[in-house]
Amino acid sequence: MKKKLGAHFWLNSITAVLTVIAVMAYIIGAVGFAYYDDLNTTILIIAGAAVAAAVANALLTVKMGDKLLLSLLGLTIGVALVACALMITEARVYSIGVLLFSELEKDNVEGYNALYCSLTAMGGFLVAAVCNVASNFCGPQKDEV
């Protein structure tokens, strides 16, 4: 029997890749520009755990099939990704208001670039969470006879 890589495997792989991209955008936004100087290592640790869990979930899908452990990993990944997005939102809510909805820093290009990187990171974490939820609905691919 040959095992096929189904949607569950591919969506978990996409979740891991999107999470890595979101982490890179967060790091660039937090320290790459002169506007923010507040890299939160908790976000990095939670996101790293989510990447490791997504990769483990994809690989265990191939080895184990449909098990309770895969469902628990999927739940953990989703909670971790949403927590990362919320932590970034909490850290950036003031600057979102100042940069986008006021005239106080309308000429601050560094601030806008840092904010856009942070918004990209938030979006990346949320899209990765959606991919994770979709992978949990798909379930592992059955064996081919």
Q: Is residue 69 part of a domain?
A: yes
Q: What is the pLDDT of residue 15?
A: 93
Please state, in angstroms and as integers, the Cα–Cα distance from residue 43 to each residue in 15, 62, 106, following that order. 16, 29, 29
Q: Is residue 28 part of a domain?
A: yes
Q: Is residue 68 part of a domain?
A: yes
Q: Is residue 1 part of a domain?
A: no
Q: Is the pLDDT of residue 119 over 80?
A: yes
- How many CB atoms are located within 10 Å of the residue 92 CB? 21
Residue range 28-65, pLDDT digits in tens: 999 988 888 888 899 999 999 999 999 988 888 877 76
Q: Is residue 43 part of a domain?
A: yes
Domain count of the fold of the chain: 1
Residue-wise DSSP of 43-68: HHHHHHHHHHHHHHHHHHHHHH-S-H
The helix or strand, by DSSP H or E, that contains position 19, with its residue range, turns out to be helix 7-31
Q: Is residue 114 part of a domain?
A: yes
Which amino acid would we find at residue 58? A
pTM of the model: 0.86
Q: Tell which wins on pLDDT, 105 or 51.
A: 51
The whole domain housing 22 covers 7-138
Calpha distance 36→29 (Å, rounded): 7
